[in-house]
Amino acid sequence: MAPTKTQRVHLRVAVADDELLRSAAAAERKTLSEFLVDSGRARAERVLADRTRFTLSPAEWQSFTAALDRPAREIPALAELFRRPRPE
């Protein structure tokens, strides 16, 4: 069972955009709302995936995990930076 839809989004668009969106929705045999929600959801997932997930080749993965497994090393300039009081 689909979740109940309770939220509204109001949009103002140019005439040309309205015509384009309605044509695309009709081509996919969807209502304008279905088309916009499906398209917006797909785009939102891509935008957020770019910020939360990444893919690596096997060689890149090996380098990445090797870097994570290396012991931490102290960088004196960075340690000094963290010892300074925070600017007010």
User: Would you write out the chain's pLDDT as a tens digit for each of its 88 residues?
Assistant: 778 888 999 999 999 999 999 999 999 999 999 999 999 999 999 899 878 888 899 999 999 999 999 999 999 999 999 999 988 8
Q: Whole-angstrom Cα distance, residue 24 to residue 36?
A: 10
3-state secondary structure at position 19 = helix
Inter-CA distances, 87 with 8, 64, 78, 81, 82, Å: 43, 34, 16, 12, 12
Give which of 13, 10, 46 is closest to 22, Cα–Cα: 13
Copy the structure tokens of residue 66.
């090797």
Per-residue pLDDT at 11 = 92
Cα four-point dihedral sign 53, 58, 64, 70: positive
Per-residue pLDDT at 3 = 81
pTM: 0.58
Per-residue pLDDT at 87 = 85
